[in-house]
């Protein structure tokens, strides 16, 4: 309803992706008036998570090539003589080459309904393009969404057994297979980690449970499928921001439990910490000493410049060959610890990546990574909740026709929405995909190749089914990119029981299917009925989707033609494993707009708020409208309401 939209505000944010959501939260927290609109009916844009039926709807939407035309040009009457307009795209063109396939048994799926869904799911063919009703749970506003409450976990001192612990002293480890622990070593707020399911299964050669397509459809609400696949470094910029701003109260996390490597046609686990290295059976004692010596050097490489100065212009792979490391150790370090390109990464970049990996060990577990329960799409919504709590206004399904620019000053004055309402503001944030071709004529985009698989078992079976694994598959041919594989279990709340959700990502060279299908065939079986013994050992793909996504990160502002100085552009997801690019971009834009304001400070504790007599009187009479106390009060209520719902969901 256009009546509820203010005609004047300080900041208009277009799109609810991660960078925009962080900026909106930071601005609202600093007291600015924020209007956050999105033409979609869900939060997150290309950072969103979908249920299975929601993803099928998304697939159909992106396989249709029809352009959206203006129903009316009446809004042009609102443009004055001394103004000009910059039209915005009506259709998102960042997703291409979407191909979906069902490999599981399609047993009368047309008669199956998703539990709790409002519409029936049509039959699935080999190429999937079904129309399914969007999930109501993904359409709710930030304040209506489930908000995990703060829980206290028992503290457990980390044993200083890994290189990062040796360097930094007391670091609390959170064991994902046991109880989570609260990091109090440095007096910082710890993130909440969700309690994983404690179900253990014995390793057996028996064929896993047979999962049919109708079961996937029926349990579709158990899936939370991310469009972009990322993990959070435990000492990365996003984790630090979540802790600093106290937004971490809105989410729960699970440790990534394993770092895997693909070598000589086999998947094997990579030892990371000192304890893992010395407990490893796949390394000889000499190799263990070699590895520990090199990792210790990487932690303090800046203190020994003479050891790498001569190789600054060499690749990291060439540098590793000079360190007296065996081929298997070189492979582990390059692809599973540093996770860098064999051909494009120089020595200094490789050492920095290795040190970052090691410094993140031990903070929350034996790997450097965390994954948010219910998917990466929860993170933008967490910041949207913070913005809404501090007065931000949110409108989904609300498109913007154009930016209105003053000819004399060259600054943007307002936007005109699809209702024909003119909304004035001082600053405007837009996502790159909304800019028209005339503005982006000089911009060169990269592409990401993505695949999402639903499988029936893990790529590396162990005594625990509940594993979150990351695997880097090196390229077969020189010049090709490595493929990052993230495998999620059901305790991450992203897939149904007895299945795994597998994400594959790499920079594009061709279509996503051409880039990633060879890797899928190496790791998984695509046959509905497995006959060969070798194929039986591989996990079976039940369903898969491939698509290319635009990577608009790293584009210089000057590349955009005719962009007003008070319009700021945010990029979509990048190819990196972490989220540092989005956080850096959000902080940079915020500081350009409000250089004297602190970026995302923590909300005040109720106990720290000092009331004057007028406020106390108003509070006693029930008419307290103090802007200082209202946001925190809402935040606490929202947190306590969401806590029960999330707990019940996990226990189910």
> Using CA atoms, how far apart are residues 324 and 287, in angstroms rounded to an integer?
10
CA–CA distances in Å: residue 452 to residues 222, 469, 546, 578: 16, 15, 7, 18
Residue 154 lies in a domain: no
Instruction: Read off φ and ψ for residue 533, nearest 5 degrees.
Output: -60, -40
Instruction: Read off φ and ψ for residue 413, nearest 5 degrees.
Output: -105, -35
**Does residue 333 carry a pLDDT above 50?**
yes
Which tokens in the block code for residue 76? 């042009």
Residue 527 lies in a domain: no
Q: How many CB atoms lie within 10 A of CB 618?
A: 15
Which single residue is written with the structure tokens 């020994």? 304
Answer yes or no: do 402 and 436 share one domain.
yes
**Hey, is 131 helix, strand or coil?**
coil
**Does residue 569 carry a pLDDT above 70?**
yes
Q: Which residues contact 25 (CB under 8 A, 6 or more apart)?
A: 245, 247, 383, 384, 386, 387, 390, 392, 600
Which tokens in the block code for residue 83? 């103004």
Q: What is the pLDDT of residues 150-195, one digit of tens each?
A: 333 333 333 333 333 333 333 333 344 433 333 333 334 445 555 4
Answer yes or no: do 349 and 318 share one domain.
yes
Answer yes or no: do 314 and 435 share one domain.
no
Dihedral sign, Cα of residue 432, residue 547, residue 333, residue 281: positive
pLDDT at position 492:
96
Percent of the chain with pLDDT over 70: 73
- Distance, CA of 365 to chain centre: 20
Answer yes or no: do 301 and 431 share one domain.
no
CA–CA distances in Å: residue 60 to residues 57, 134, 448: 5, 12, 20
CA–CA distances in Å: residue 441 to residues 87, 382, 400, 430, 570: 14, 34, 21, 17, 17
pLDDT at position 196:
46
For the chain, how big is the Rg over CA atoms in Å? 25
Rounded (5°) CA angle 494-500-504: 90
Q: What is the pLDDT of residues 99-154, one digit of tens each?
A: 999 987 776 555 566 665 444 333 333 444 443 334 333 333 333 333 333 333 33
**Does residue 488 carry a pLDDT above 70?**
yes
Tell me which of 296, 328, 360 is where a domain ends: 360
Q: Which residues are registered as beta bridge partners of 451?
A: 504, 546
- Please say whether the beta carbons of 471 and 262 come within 8 A: yes
Which tokens in the block code for residue 377? 């799409």
Q: Which residues contact 310 (CB under 8 A, 6 or more apart)?
A: none
Answer yes or no: do 27 and 82 share one domain.
yes
Q: Which residues contact 123 (CB under 8 A, 6 or more apart)?
A: 106, 109, 110, 130
- Distance, CA of 147 to chain centre: 18
Indicate which CATH number applies to the domain containing 388: 3.50.50.60
Q: Return the minimum-mean-pLDDT range out of 135-139, 311-315, 344-348, 588-592.
A: 135-139
Tell me which of 360, 388, 411 is where a domain ends: 360
**Does residue 560 carry a pLDDT above 80?**
yes
Residue 501 lies in a domain: no
The mean pLDDT value for 469-498 works out to: 92
The mean pLDDT value for 204-224 works out to: 83
**Does residue 567 carry a pLDDT above 50?**
yes
Per-residue 3-state assignment (H helix, E strand, C coil) for 610-635: CCCHHHHHHHHHCCCCCCCHHHHHHH
The mean pLDDT value for 460-487 works out to: 89
> Using CA atoms, how far apart are residues 627 and 204, in angstroms rounded to an integer?
60
The mean pLDDT value for 237-259 works out to: 94
Percent of the chain with pLDDT over 90: 52
pLDDT band at 360 (very low <50, low <70, confident <90, very high): very high
Residue 133 lies in a domain: no
pLDDT at position 143:
31
Answer yes or no: do 434 and 564 share one domain.
yes
pLDDT at position 513:
96
DSSP letter for 239, please. Answer: H
Answer yes or no: do 277 and 416 share one domain.
no
When mean pLDDT is compared over 140-149, 428-437, 643-652, the highest value belongs to 428-437
Residue 400 lies in a domain: yes
Instruction: Read off φ and ψ for residue 94, nearest 5 degrees.
Output: -85, -10
pTM of the model: 0.80
pLDDT at position 584:
96
Q: What is the pLDDT of residues 50-99, one digit of tens each?
A: 999 999 999 999 988 666 555 556 667 778 888 898 988 888 889 999 99
pLDDT at position 358:
93
pLDDT at position 29:
94
Residue 369 lies in a domain: no
Residue 139 lies in a domain: no
Indicate which CATH number applies to the domain containing 353: 1.10.405.10
How many domains is the chain built from? 2
Q: Look at 609 and 97; give whichever has higher pLDDT.
A: 97
DSSP letter for 196, please. Answer: P
**Does residue 202 carry a pLDDT above 60?**
no
pLDDT band at 496 (very low <50, low <70, confident <90, very high): very high
Answer yes or no: do 572 and 427 share one domain.
yes
> Using CA atoms, how far apart are residues 293 and 329, in angstroms rounded to an integer?
12
pLDDT at position 116:
52
Answer yes or no: do 337 and 398 share one domain.
no
pLDDT at position 449:
97
Tell me which of 360, 391, 417 is where a domain ends: 360
Answer yes or no: do 379 and 340 share one domain.
no
Residue 286 lies in a domain: yes
Q: Return the minimum-mean-pLDDT range out of 135-139, 289-293, 343-347, 412-416.
A: 135-139
Which tokens in the block code for residue 283? 């390394």
Answer yes or no: do 314 and 381 share one domain.
no
Q: In the chain, how long is the greatest CA-to-CA distance?
A: 80
Answer yes or no: do 299 and 429 share one domain.
no
Which tokens in the block code for residue 31? 């007291």
- Please say whether the beta carbons of 612 and 120 come within 8 A: no
Find the domain containing 349 and state its range: 273-360
Nearest to 181 by CA among 149, 158, 148: 158
Q: Which residues are registered as beta bridge partners of 540?
A: 525
The mean pLDDT value for 32-38 works out to: 93
């Amino acid at each position: 309803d256009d009546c509820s939209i203010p005609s004047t505000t300080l900041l208009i944010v277009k799109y609810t992706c991660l960078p925009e959501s962080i900026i909106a939260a930071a601005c609202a927290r600093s007291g600015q008036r924020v209007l956050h609109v999105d033409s979609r009916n869900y939060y997150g844009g290309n950072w969103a998570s979908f249920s299975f039926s929601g993803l099928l709807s998304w697939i159909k939407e992106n396989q249709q090539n029809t352009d959206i035309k203006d129903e009316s040009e009446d809004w042009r009457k609102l443009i004055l003589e001394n103004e000009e307009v910059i039209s915005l795209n009506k259709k998102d063109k960042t997703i291409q080459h979407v191909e979906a396939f069902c490999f599981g048994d399609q047993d009368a799926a047309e008669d199956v309904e998703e539990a709790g869904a409002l519409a029936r799911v049509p039959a699935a063919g080999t190429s999937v393009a079904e129309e399914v009703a969007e999930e109501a749970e993904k359409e709710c506003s930030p304040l209506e969404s489930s908000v995990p409450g703060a829980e206290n976990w028992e503290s457990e001192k980390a044993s200083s057994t890994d290189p990062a612990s040796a360097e930094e002293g007391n670091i609390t480890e959170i064991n994902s297979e046991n109880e989570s622990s609260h990091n109090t070593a440095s007096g910082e707020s710890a993130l909440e980690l969700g309690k994983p399911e404690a179900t253990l299964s014995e390793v057996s050669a028996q064929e896993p449970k047979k999962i049919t397509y109708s079961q996937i459809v029926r349990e579709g609400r158990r899936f939370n499928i991310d469009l972009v696949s990322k993990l959070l470094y435990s000492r990365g910029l996003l984790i630090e921001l979540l802790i600093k701003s106290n937004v971490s109260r809105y989410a729960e996390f699970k440790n990534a439990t394993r770092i895997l490597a693909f070598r000589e046609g086999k998947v094997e686990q990579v030892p990371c910490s000192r304890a893992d290295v010395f407990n490893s059976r796949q390394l000889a004692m000499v190799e263990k000493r070699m590895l520990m010596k090199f990792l210790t050097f990487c932690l303090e490489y800046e203190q020994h410049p003479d050891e790498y100065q001569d190789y600054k212009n060499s690749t990291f792979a060439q540098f590793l060959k000079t360190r007296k490391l065996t081929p298997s150790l070189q492979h582990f370090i390059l692809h599973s610890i540093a996770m860098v390109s064999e051909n494009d990464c120089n020595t200094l970049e490789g050492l920095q990546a290795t040190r970052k990996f090691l410094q993140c060990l031990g903070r929350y577990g034996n790997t450097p990574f965390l994954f948010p329960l219910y998917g990466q799409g929860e993170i933008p919504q967490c910041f949207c909740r913070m913005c809404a709590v501090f007065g931000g206004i949110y409108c989904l399904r609300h498109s913007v026709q154009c930016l209105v620019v003053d000819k004399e000053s060259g600054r943007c004055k307002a936007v005109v929405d699809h209702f024909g309402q003119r909304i004035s503001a001082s600053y405007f944030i837009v996502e790159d995909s909304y800019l028209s071709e005339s503005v982006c004529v000089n911009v060169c985009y990269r592409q990401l190749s993505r695949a999402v698989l639903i499988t029936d078992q893990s790529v590396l079976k162990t005594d625990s089914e509940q594993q979150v694994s990351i695997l880097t598959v090196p390229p077969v041919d020189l010049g090709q990119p490595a493929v990052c594989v993230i495998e999620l279990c059901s305790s991450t709340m992203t897939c149904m029981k007895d299945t795994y959700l597998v994400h594959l990502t790499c920079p594009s060279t061709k279509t996503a299917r051409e880039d990633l299908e060879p890797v899928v065939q190496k790791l998984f079986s695509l046959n509905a009925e497995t006959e060969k013994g070798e194929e039986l050992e591989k996990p079976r793909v039940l369903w898969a989707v491939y698509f290319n996504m635009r990577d608009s990160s790293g584009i210089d502002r000057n590349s955009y033609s005719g962009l007003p100085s008070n319009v700021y552009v945010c990029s979509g997801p990048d190819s990196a494993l972490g989220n540092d690019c989005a956080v850096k971009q959000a902080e940079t834009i915020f500081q350009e707009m409000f250089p004297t304001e602190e970026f995302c400070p923590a909300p005040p504790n109720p106990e720290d708020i000092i009331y004057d007599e007028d406020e106390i009187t108003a509070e006693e009479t029930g008419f307290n409208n103090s802007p200082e106390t209202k946001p925190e009060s809402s935040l606490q209520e929202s947190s306590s309401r969401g806590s029960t719902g999330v707990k019940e969901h996990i226990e189910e």
